[in-house]
């Protein structure tokens, strides 16, 4: 395994390997402290945590269940945005281009795109802003339709490879409406033919009642369902591998956006556009009670959140706002949770992870 990690990796222009940190088993004192803190958090959480931290300046990395597969939820919207910006660089679109909202585009979830009437022309700039900052699902699927799902998946793989990671550690990305079709399809195959408006209607019911509501929509009995309830259906869908990945691989994807790790490895997404995406991620308004709540005001965090049934994520690039401490970073942070039903329980756990990162010294001297 050690040999496999050292072969066929890209090289920086100055001769340094982009994954040179894999060659040295670096473990500073903070790693033991962080491990103890995460054990304590997981015990109270009554679920599981996945945490990956990588210092892009020193190369030191930390993993807590980070090499297990995790459902990434809306974290997959980052490579969607990256592909949109790559096409802007190629000249095949501009951010002021407008896409016409169709009734078939509507997907349940957060965001203001659903407040517009069908037939409304909406700029790509607006759609990308809503996709990242408030995790708008309808905006996401409209952008995926514009740039192509195959190209979004290729972009994600390119980003991981640009940091020397293994693209095969990220499963296929799908549209958000396809997630609903996949989950409900695990209950009954006919659900795969439903559209966004159907899923918006189903979401009006509590999770415990969605199976019965689906049966009424399909005109079937719940006795025909392949899974006993929505929770088991989501577990079965996750097992297909769609939108599932290894946290360290997603960390490599994020690292490709930062100049500290780029070094020209992704020429079709230049530094200006990578900075455009990072600036957009800095404006993320969802998940304020997650990592940021624990890390506090001493950190600038360009990030994206994700939330699904009994699962939550928060991932991005953190930098110290104190000029004296800034050279110690930046840090890629990828965290996911699974277990309790209440989103608030996941957010409390992620906030405590943020505190653990802060006080353990994982992000430089504690503040």
Q: Left, alpha or beta for 144 (phi > 0: left; psi -120 to 50: alpha)?
A: alpha
Under the banding of pLDDT at 50, 70 and 90, the label for residue 15 is very low
pLDDT tens readout for residues 205-232 = 999 999 999 999 999 999 999 999 999 9
Residue 300 has a pLDDT of 95
Residues 278 and 301: their CA atoms lie apart, in Å, by: 9
Under the banding of pLDDT at 50, 70 and 90, the label for residue 115 is very high
Residues 169 and 307: their CA atoms lie apart, in Å, by: 21
Residue 223 has a pLDDT of 96
pLDDT tens readout for residues 286-314 = 889 999 999 998 999 999 999 999 999 99
Residue 7 has a pLDDT of 36
Under the banding of pLDDT at 50, 70 and 90, the label for residue 325 is confident
Q: Is 25's pLDDT higher than 60?
A: no
Mean pLDDT of 181-190: 98
Mean pLDDT of 126-140: 98
Residues 122 and 299: their CA atoms lie apart, in Å, by: 34
Q: Is 162's pLDDT higher than 80?
A: yes
Residue 241 has a pLDDT of 98
Q: Is 79's pLDDT higher than 60?
A: yes
364 and 325 in contact (C-beta within 8 Å)? yes
User: What is the phi/psi pair of residue 180, to 5°?
Assistant: -60, -45
Residue 340 has a pLDDT of 96
Mean pLDDT of 12-23: 40
Q: Is 2's pLDDT higher than 90?
A: no
Q: Is 262's pLDDT higher than 50?
A: yes
pLDDT tens readout for residues 330-364 = 999 999 999 999 999 999 999 999 999 999 999 99
Q: Judging by beta carbons within 10 Å of its beta carbon (0-12, 13-18, 19+), is residue 296 exposed, middle or buried? A: exposed
Residue 105 has a pLDDT of 96
Mean pLDDT of 264-276: 87
Mean pLDDT of all residues belonging to the chain: 91
Greatest alpha-carbon span in the chain: 65
Q: DSSP secondary-structure letter at 43?
A: H
- Residue 127 exposure: Cα atoms within 13 Å on the Cβ side: 33
pLDDT tens readout for residues 236-248 = 999 999 999 999 9
Residue 287 has a pLDDT of 86
Torsion of CA 311, 316, 320, 325, to 10 degrees: 110
Residue 327 has a pLDDT of 77
284 and 305 in contact (C-beta within 8 Å)? yes
- Residue 40 exposure: Cα atoms within 13 Å on the Cβ side: 10
Q: Is the pTM of this model over 0.85?
A: yes
The better pLDDT of the pair 264, 255 is held by 255
């Amino acid at each position: 395994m050690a040999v496999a990690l050292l072969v066929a990796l890209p090289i920086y222009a100055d001769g340094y390997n982009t994954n040179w940190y894999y060659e040295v088993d670096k473990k500073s004192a903070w790693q033991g402290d962080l491990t103890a803190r995460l054990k304590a958090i997981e015990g109270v959480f009554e679920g599981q945590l996945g945490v990956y931290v990588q210092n892009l300046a020193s190369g030191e990395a930390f993993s807590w269940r980070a090499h297990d597969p995790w459902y990434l939820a809306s974290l997959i919207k980052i490579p969607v945005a990256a592909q949109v910006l790559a096409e802007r660089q190629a000249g095949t679109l501009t951010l002021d281009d407008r896409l016409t909202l169709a009734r078939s585009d509507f997907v349940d979830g957060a965001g203001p795109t659903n407040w517009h009437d069908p037939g409304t022309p909406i700029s790509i700039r607006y759609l990308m802003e809503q996709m990242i900052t408030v995790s708008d699902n309808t905006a996401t699927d409209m952008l995926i339709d514009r740039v192509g799902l195959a190209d979004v998946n290729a972009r994600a793989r390119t980003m991981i490879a640009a940091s020397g990671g293994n693209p095969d550690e990220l499963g296929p990305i799908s549209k958000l409406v396809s997630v609903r079709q996949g989950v409900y399809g695990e209950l009954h195959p006919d659900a795969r033919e439903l559209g966004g408006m159907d899923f918006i209607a189903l979401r009006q019911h509590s999770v415990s009642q969605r199976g019965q509501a689906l049966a009424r929509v399909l005109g079937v009995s719940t006795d025909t369902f392949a899974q006993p309830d929505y929770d088991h259906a989501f577990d079965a869908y996750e097992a297909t591998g769609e939108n599932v990945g290894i946290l360290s691989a997603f960390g490599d994807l994020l690292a490709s956006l930062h100049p500290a790790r780029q070094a020209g490895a992704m020429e079709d997404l230049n530094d200006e556009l990578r900075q455009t995406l990072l600036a957009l991620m800095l404006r993320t308004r969802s998940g304020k009670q997650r990592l940021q709540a624990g890390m506090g005001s001493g950190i600038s965090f360009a990030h994206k959140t994700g939330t699904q049934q009994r699962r939550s994520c928060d991932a991005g690039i953190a930098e110290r706002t104190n000029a004296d401490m800034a050279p110690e970073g930046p840090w890629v942070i990828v965290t996911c949770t699974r277990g309790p039903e209440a989103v608030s329980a996941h957010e409390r756990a992620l906030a405590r992870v943020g505190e653990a990162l802060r006080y353990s010294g994982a992000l430089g001297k504690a503040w």
